[in-house]
Amino acid sequence: MTLEEGGYANPVGNDWGGATPELNPGTFTSAPYSYSLGATTGVSSAVQGGAGACKITV
């Protein structure tokens, strides 16, 4: 997400790999649903493990 794309983001606990993203600061503080936030170190394996047709887990 960049400034050109519009919208708002409040990044928390992200690993940008040394980059400094240009994000619009927003006012979002809480989602209207519950969720658990995983560690950024597990993103790659989670994406690779869930990639493919009909591999949706709820």
pLDDT at site 48? 84
Judge whether residue 33 has pLDDT over 80. Answer: yes
Domain that holds residue 58: 1-58
Contact at 8 Å (CB) between 40 and 17? Answer: no
Judge whether residue 35 has pLDDT over 80. Answer: yes
DSSP string spanning 2-17? -GGG-S-B---S---T
Q: Which two tokens stand for residue 49?
A: 């493990």
| Average confidence score pLDDT of the chain | 75
Averaged pLDDT for residues 25-43 = 80
Sign of the four-CA dihedral 18, 12, 55, 41: positive
- Name the domain count of the chain: 1
Contact at 8 Å (CB) between 37 and 18? Answer: no
